Structure 1
């Protein structure tokens, strides 16, 4: 059988089990298009530590009802095979959340039907809600696992499927591979038993989440003016509730972006980090103390003050110090990823608390430390933060709503003392040196370019970069200092800065994370000007060293 004949046969078999009239119609129209069939049936979405994520459409290389039901059946197989869960008095239970993207509600109900049919007790969220509400609900309800149907800040045509385990954190290896293997063993989805008696939760689950946030160390200052955008996502209503519960004035919301809209009509890319995404919020925020944005599933939080966006590392440093000043105990732990700023290490040392570094991704941050540690704060430079108090972090994942509250508390406290968030940044720069970060990100058509660049870096690492001596080269291919193996090379520099190079896990990109540390000898502004020039020179030197 020709390759096209094989793809067509697979497509016809798919048509026989697909319950969705939209994707059936799409696929029928493509049966005589070899290239389109090869794109949809020549590969499949791989289930990994981020679950599934991809473009909506028919076939195993797309997000659709068949793909989702297979994922739910694989997860059910793993859960029901665990003796400790099967024999417990409560049995196996799963909570399912979903955002407002195209088909998210359908995918959530399909998952509920398949899991219920497999004998799993299912709790379904009452409406489209932020990802951190789902992550919180896993532990709050005592579930064995959680599912969140979301593609976070991906383009409108995408959707995704994230899996959480009983600790309320995203799954890590080897559990992801175990679930992936179980998914591969699933037969036709039209032969799966489907239940109907799942439980639809009420607003009590949202209120429990809000109560947990109200216990954060938010101080007493409440005089604050703020602008906010949920970027057409699901964060708006819950953030407004959170601010009201905790006594903060409700922010003014960007009207054009206030309602959930899966087409994200006002932004080219619904990610606060993307150029232009924050323009409407920044315009609304002129003259206000604070501008806040969530991404569409509200697990990330972007911040602007004084007319400029703060970087993820700048917010990360400010939040770290605020949390540590409002918590106690020698068992406190703060954690971040290897690509985030080294400033957190200095802050932890100053406050006498434990510090941990992990691989990229919040799934690793939540596994940081030991059983003796109490994680009170974790962050990654890509606008992800988990903030806590003396009880630890209430959400075992990044939480854009809790972060917005903590940023509001920090800004209100600074205002009460006659300052701003920018003043707090200057204070940190004076104490720890200015830690300035930037990225070099190279998108490629040919993946061999990335492989060649990584091989070149490993075989002939540079001795100096932009006038800075490379003092240490760390290759994480075999693991390092307790970190799992990863395709990452880290170069430490003589000024305390560093360069980290790794392939992107989700896109055909090579990503380089740059940091310089500049002492403040006259003013923080002078140090920032110098750091900007240093980062530009470092970016050029790294590109040359990689042959890019």
Structure 2
């Protein structure tokens, strides 16, 4: 096969590529699809299926399940695992890789002849063929169980087969490094190159008997027990949690994913009363029959069944995991009878403040200079304001838990205490159970917090208003504009950079600082060089305005979107609705002057 390169050539080239695929493919369903194109001499169809290869990045692989190099399938998984194994052997040495092993988990996704379990089994078969030990969970697991296994068993890597909250046709292959965090550059590029050098299957792989192989270990019972023991240590009010007078009744949805089997155990580990399940969504179902897009971050639309269940059972709190249970959405019933859906930034602020106050309550003599919380650069800075006022540390990283996890690892290796990290896309890491987002753990912590607030006579929403009054009425406005024309996006950012003479104002709003993580420019640094990692392959500029508003403009790595994240700190004592109105006016100016001109020209052309 012609590997990863886009293949231009005559019809014979595509016929040859199709024949090579059929020769290598181990799945009768996907093999038949390519064979049908060969039989029909459908060169265009072959080109669409084999003309490019899924790009292996820091998030591993994620795409629709189907035939060819553009989709997730058994052969692509075999090729990916072969490349990963060879890379790990080169990085750590063959003996170390074989001894320490690889963690493997999978969710419930399935499409035709393809499914997550088979992807995990083929991965295991490739590994044991190289003499590499594998810790292969039995049955569906929540994503956090894989990085937990990496840490507990000292593995060289971990793989979770899941597409998280993507549509039902998708699947993914998430890779963790030896430190229990998702991989970061340059590992992704080096693994990608190793995959290209190991495309031909090394042998026929037996997935029917791989679980019986002496190198294939089932860690499920042992590690699930250890995981929930670790989770239970985050409960500060275990004895109180079952008291009826402080009970906050919770409705919970797994969003047709794997979360229920695990989040129910996290509630039990905290001695919390069982939640009321949203029955239509509680069991794993790869068809996701009640939601076209199984992402609780979508808010009220995705949570409608949860609200109905809550109301019919007198619940005042809704908790929702995404399908692989590494994220958490939260909503609370207000006295008005309306449901308030907390944003990821609000949940992050609430949990971050809670973790700090509880840690200090139990460790009053702790050195605050050794305490850290972490958030991604596009997440709210309210937790930073709390840290500055209270005297502990806030660290900002690039977008994605891969960066926060690796920062956590570095800080802990330096003897620091990292209490919490979060991203605005409802991802939260509480404590030290794992170094990745964990919706199973976060759900129990949030429920315990809600009960303690009830004991104090306040709801979670009321407590949030108190935090705004104390630390500032922070408000955010995040959205995107669509653009399917990459040159237009390049023109937008070229105009903003102005050949290095960056803008000083936008409308009537003076700009105080500029950080460009595409070029490495940062006006706030003495040498104008950015501290955070720089990537020339993506566009990202952050503006800090003199009125305190922070606006980040960035391209999406997976969608034709130009995203913007804007936040105003307001001023203590200001009405938050006034702050929201002022921010809305400024965002309208940013969109109109910074983003829209080229898009308007594109629409007119």
Q: CA deviation at 1:143?
A: 1.1
Structure 2 equivalent of residue 49 of structure 1: 58
Structure 2 equivalent of residue 173 of structure 1: 185
CA distance, structure 2, for counterparts of residue 252 and residue 3 of structure 1: 61
What secondary structure, in the 3-state scheme, does the structure 2 residue paired with 1:408 have? Answer: helix
What secondary structure, in the 3-state scheme, does the structure 1 residue paired with 2:436 have? Answer: coil
- Structure 1 window deviating more from structure 2 (347-356 vs 300-309): it is 347-356
What secondary structure, in the 3-state scheme, does the structure 1 residue paired with 2:144 have? Answer: helix
Change (3 A) 1:430 1:96: same
- Structure 1 window deviating more from structure 2 (39-48 vs 198-207): it is 198-207
Question: 2:494 aligned with 1:455, yes or no?
Answer: yes
Equivalent of 2:81 in 49, 72, 97 = 72
TM-score, normalised via structure 1 length: 0.94
Equivalent of 1:96 in 88, 94, 104 = 104
Tell me if the contact between 2:515 and 2:530 (Cα under 8 Å) persists in the aligned partners: no
Higher gyration radius (CA): 2
Q: Deviations over 1:112-131 (max 9, x none)?
A: 00011011101100111110
CA distance, structure 2, for counterparts of residue 110 and residue 334 of structure 1: 38
Q: How does 1:385-404 map to 2 (within 5 A)?
A: 385-388=428-431, 393-404=432-443
Question: 2:513 aligned with 1:472, yes or no?
Answer: yes
Tell me if the contact between 1:117 and 1:194 (Cα under 8 Å) persists in the aligned partners: no
Structure 1 equivalent of residue 17 of structure 2: 10
Q: Deviations over 1:204-239 (max 9, x none)?
A: 211111111101144354222001101000001111
Change (3 A) 1:465 1:249: farther
Question: 2:453 aligned with 1:414, yes or no?
Answer: yes
Q: CA deviation at 1:176?
A: 1.3
Equivalent of 1:293 in 308, 320, 331 = 320
Equivalent of 1:534 in 570, 578, 582 = 582
CA distance, structure 2, for counterparts of residue 405 and residue 257 of structure 1: 19
Tell me if the contact between 2:332 and 2:461 (Cα under 8 Å) persists in the aligned partners: yes
Tell me if the contact between 2:122 and 2:205 (Cα under 8 Å) persists in the aligned partners: no
Q: Deviations over 1:341-370 (max 9, x none)?
A: 111111111232121110001010012264
Structure 2 equivalent of residue 279 of structure 1: 304
Q: CA deviation at 1:91?
A: 1.5
Structure 2 equivalent of residue 344 of structure 1: 383
Tell me if the contact between 2:102 and 2:134 (Cα under 8 Å) persists in the aligned partners: yes
CA distance, structure 1, for counterparts of residue 579 and residue 50 of structure 2: 49
Equivalent of 2:294 in 247, 255, 270 = 270
Q: CA deviation at 1:450?
A: 1.8
CA distance, structure 1, for counterparts of residue 453 and residue 508 of structure 2: 38
CA distance, structure 2, for counterparts of residue 418 and residue 25 of structure 1: 64
CA distance, structure 2, for counterparts of residue 308 and residue 466 of structure 1: 34
Q: CA deviation at 1:202?
A: 3.3
CA distance, structure 1, for counterparts of residue 449 and residue 200 of structure 2: 53
Question: 2:423 aligned with 1:380, yes or no?
Answer: yes
Q: Deviations over 1:265-289 (max 9, x none)?
A: 1012011122511111122223423
CA distance, structure 1, for counterparts of residue 199 and residue 384 of structure 2: 49
CA distance, structure 2, for counterparts of residue 491 and residue 465 of structure 1: 10
Question: 2:116 aligned with 1:110, yes or no?
Answer: no
User: Matched residue pairs, number?
Assistant: 539
Q: Which runs of 5+ in 1 are unaligned?
A: none
CA distance, structure 2, for counterparts of residue 484 and residue 213 of structure 1: 32
Q: CA deviation at 1:193?
A: 6.4
Question: 2:46 aligned with 1:37, yes or no?
Answer: yes
Q: CA deviation at 1:70?
A: 0.8
Question: 2:249 aligned with 1:225, yes or no?
Answer: yes
Q: CA deviation at 1:451?
A: 1.6
Q: Which runs of 5+ in 2 are unaligned?
A: 1-7, 242-246, 334-338, 521-528, 600-605
Equivalent of 1:199 in 217, 240, 248 = 217
Q: CA deviation at 1:372?
A: 3.5
Q: How does 1:487-498 map to 2 (within 5 A)?
A: 487-498=539-550
Equivalent of 2:158 in 138, 146, 151 = 146
Q: CA deviation at 1:242?
A: 1.2
Tell me if the contact between 2:147 and 2:176 (Cα under 8 Å) persists in the aligned partners: yes
Q: CA deviation at 1:465?
A: 4.2
